[in-house]
Structure 1
Amino acid sequence: MNNQARFIQRQHGIALIIFTLTLVLAAIAYFLTQMNSNTVKLAREKTSISALAEAKSALIGKVIGDPNITTSFYLPNPELSLNVPTFPEGSETGVAGSQDRIIIGKLPWNSLDIGPIKDGTDECLWYVLSGRFKNNPKTTVLNWDTQAQIDVIDANGNSVATNVVALIVSAGAQLTGQNRSVTTNTQCGGDYDVMNFMDTPNSVNAVAGQVNYFAGTPNHREATDVNNKQFVRAKNDYYNDQFVFVTVDDIFKPIIRRTDFKSQINTLLNMAQLSTVSISGVNTKGADNIDCNLITNANDKRFCENWKEMLLLIALPSMPIYLDGTATATCNRVIIFGGQKTSGQVRLTAADKNNPANYLEANNLLAFNAPATNTFYGVSNFDPDNPSADVMRCI
């Protein structure tokens, strides 16, 4: 091989090495870019998860910390629009739509006594609230049996959760079809159009026909009826909303541990009218004629309106009942606070709520159906560690 051939061969070898190194460096660069991208995504997701947890804690703390037990079941309304300087940014809207309809807005961080909480994309959090748990307008009756109106499904349309009181939402990065160009000199921007943040903006891509807003309504924020709605929790090209749930138990489990909750039940059971009110007839729990409007104290009246459906009233043939294991004096009537439902009890429809079997168990159900031949056994005070126990009074 002559010198020229060896030179050409050497040049080809060098070129191949350079080409190979270029490919290796490109692969390393791609790997590092992907790794960096994933690291950023994970960091953003971690920030969002932390923000959602902080917001849920603040929301529940605000609700159960209400000094008035008769209003402590209601959740703050979302912030539906900016109303500065009348109200500071982050304040709940005074009247949030129509009674019992789901409403969506921004988390009212100022009303929760915290600062603006932002997710991993530096957006403030959103807030979906079941209509029956709104602070204003209030529903007719709210207690631990009240059905919330939010359901959650996954990317395949499978049920994830039902009977959810509220969702706190990290809307994530902007998707194609969303417009977040509206900005103001505020902590959370001036855009209150839910569709620009919650997904999916194109209903063609909707899972099971569900989008995380209300199409065709002002700012896509309010339900058009009182029915349940499904919200989609998915991670794909069309949905990236992250949720935390607020459940009925999240609200009521801590509230029923308050001593003033027990006190309100005692006040309810000690109403003067119980000794004379007409006992309602068949297919009722006997308490239909109890009139909360006769109560002059506003808080006691509101508690009565919300919790009256737990009451059962029946006449006795001059016999004692047993309270805390001890026989009482002779009773002409017994009033019962039925407690939380147990497994197998259903309290959804009016018929369910008129059925004593959905409030009483074992001996007490037998006694209610045949008081002359059976005896009532109950407790004198509500116990949060045994919330289904029947609390009674001998009248």
Structure 2
Amino acid sequence: MGRAPAGPQRQRGQVLLLLLLVLVTGAAYLLMQSLSAASIATERDRITQQALAEAKAALIAYAVTYSETHPGSAPGYLPCPDMSAGGVSGEGSAEGSCGAKDVSVIGRLPWKTLGLPPLRDGAGECLWYTLSGAYKNNPKTNLMNSNTSGQFEVMGPNGTTYVAGPEPESRAVAVVFAPGMPIAGQARGSVGAATQCGGNYIAANYLDTDKEIDNSALSPGAKAVTRFIAGAPSRSFNDRLLAIRHDELFTAINKKVAAAIRGSVDPPSGIQGYYAQQVPKQYPWAGDGSGHQIPGETAGPLPYEDLPLDPGTKNVLQDNGWFDPDVTVYTVSPDRSRATITIQNPAVSVCLEKGKIVPCP
């Protein structure tokens, strides 16, 4: 005898199994799609963060070594942005001059000037760059030393917490931006001159606004303070940024200046050179504000005129206010066997004892 046809209950069970299979397969597909999208977003973010970090490191190196690559200048200056692809070496090179003295500027990162490839974020866009007016290498500010304030405040996602600022010593001297994908209203059509990065040089087509803070707009006027925002990602905001804070930059520069003032025993230069040349060996007294020692004075300005400093180095530091008592402080023990040089803002000290560098207490 043949088998009896399946009953309605069994047929319903098979249908439910098929529906369950479809649901499981669909859920697995959606999960895979979600994981794939998350992986892509993670990789794009990694590329962006790496590009920003490379740009920041190159800019700091440029500023710290500026006195070596540009003899006769103080360390600390940064290159103008690429504002038109019309720099000395074309796209990616810094403008020869950018605006009025002490007025901040915005443009693309001058990757060629910095010895970099055209760094791109995770969306494939080249980086942008804002520079405090006082840090432009042309035209230069009057004095470049550790009291030269940054002109940028950077706010966190809530628009009220400071990432950089508000104190002058914690403001940013420069900010590097990754613009991300274009948002509504941004037109990134090519102007033709930017053959590597493409697009155009209108900052508002790349940088966004959040909490009424516009990352493409600079405050006008000499030494004016501008506010940027590191906002949370949304459909209307996708900028990523990395600030170079004043204290970050001058921690490195102050070490360099302190080392130049410290000098060496052989060949004799700086404080150490003074010590080596004395009979009996001793460090100089503190200065009188005009570069000369005051006998018996153990704390005060640096007696730079009495030190065997390289003339070029001395002139650059003196002309830029590095020997001013609110920048450099000098102390010596009563028996003149120990001395300390402190460069202020942020404080970097070098301690010496009997011709040797020693740990500071």
Is TM-score (shorter-chain normalized) higher than 0.5?
yes
Structure 1 window deviating more from structure 2 (138-147 vs 64-73): it is: 64-73
**Match for residue 82 of structure 1?**
85
Displacement of 1:303 after TM fit? 3.2
**Match for residue 45 of structure 1?**
45
- The amino acid of 2:214's aligned partner reads V
Residues 146, 254 of structure 2: 8 Å contact kept: no
Q: 1:262 to 1:99 in 2, by over 3 A?
A: farther
Q: Report the 3-state secondary structure (helix = DSSP H, G, I; strand = E; otherwise coil) of the residue aligned with 2:14.
A: helix
**Match for residue 210 of structure 1?**
213
**Match for residue 256 of structure 1?**
254
Matched ranges for 1:261-300 at <5 A: none
**Match for residue 30 of structure 2?**
30
- The amino acid of 2:172's aligned partner reads V
Residues 168, 244 of structure 1: 8 Å contact kept: yes
Q: 1:111 to 1:341 in 2, by over 3 A?
A: closer
**Match for residue 223 of structure 1?**
219
CA distance in 2, matches of 1:93, 1:239: 29
Structure 1 window deviating more from structure 2 (72-81 vs 242-251): it is: 242-251
Q: Report the 3-state secondary structure (helix = DSSP H, G, I; strand = E; otherwise coil) of the residue aligned with 1:240.
A: coil
Residues 186, 206 of structure 2: 8 Å contact kept: yes
Alignment partner for residue 148 of structure 1, among 138, 147, 150? 150
CA distance in 1, matches of 2:7, 2:176: 70
Q: 1:161 to 1:341 in 2, by over 3 A?
A: closer
Find out whether 1:98 has 2:100 as its counterpart: yes
Alignment partner for residue 179 of structure 1, among 183, 187, 194? 187
Structure 1 window deviating more from structure 2 (225-234 vs 251-260): it is: 251-260
Deviations 1:98-147 (A, max 9, x none): 22222111111111112111111111111111111111111122211121
CA distance in 1, matches of 2:358, 2:203: 39
Alignment partner for residue 200 of structure 2, among 185, 191, 194? 191
Residues 151, 229 of structure 1: 8 Å contact kept: yes
CA distance in 1, matches of 2:184, 2:99: 29
- The amino acid of 1:135's aligned partner reads N
CA distance in 1, matches of 2:115, 2:84: 18
Alignment partner for residue 177 of structure 2, among 166, 169, 172? 169
CA distance in 2, matches of 1:41, 1:34: 11
Alignment partner for residue 340 of structure 1, among 326, 344, 347? 344
- Please give the TM-score of this superposition, normalised by the length of structure 2: 0.71
- The amino acid of 1:161's aligned partner reads A
Displacement of 1:13 after TM fit? 3.4
- The amino acid of 2:143's aligned partner reads V
Two-structure CA RMSD over aligned residues (Å) = 4.0
CA distance in 2, matches of 1:106, 1:118: 11
Structure 2: any 5+ residue segments left out of the alignment?
A: 166-170, 264-268, 275-285, 293-299, 302-310
CA distance in 2, matches of 1:305, 1:166: 24
CA distance in 1, matches of 2:134, 2:359: 26
CA distance in 2, matches of 1:256, 1:245: 19
Displacement of 1:72 after TM fit? 2.0
CA distance in 2, matches of 1:124, 1:71: 30
Deviations 1:69-111 (A, max 9, x none): 7332101111111117x52321111111222222111111111
- The amino acid of 2:63's aligned partner reads V
Residues 323, 380 of structure 1: 8 Å contact kept: no
Q: Report the 3-state secondary structure (helix = DSSP H, G, I; strand = E; otherwise coil) of the residue aligned with 2:213.
A: coil
Displacement of 1:152 after TM fit? 1.0
CA distance in 2, matches of 1:235, 1:342: 31
Displacement of 1:15 after TM fit? 3.0
CA distance in 2, matches of 1:25, 1:385: 67
- The amino acid of 1:194's aligned partner reads A
**Match for residue 279 of structure 2?**
none
- The amino acid of 2:96's aligned partner reads G
Q: Report the 3-state secondary structure (helix = DSSP H, G, I; strand = E; otherwise coil) of the residue aligned with 1:59.
A: helix
- The amino acid of 2:180's aligned partner reads G
CA distance in 2, matches of 1:46, 1:62: 24
Structure 1: any 5+ residue segments left out of the alignment?
A: 201-205, 215-221, 276-284, 287-296, 313-320, 329-336, 344-377, 390-395
- The amino acid of 1:56's aligned partner reads K
**Match for residue 233 of structure 1?**
230
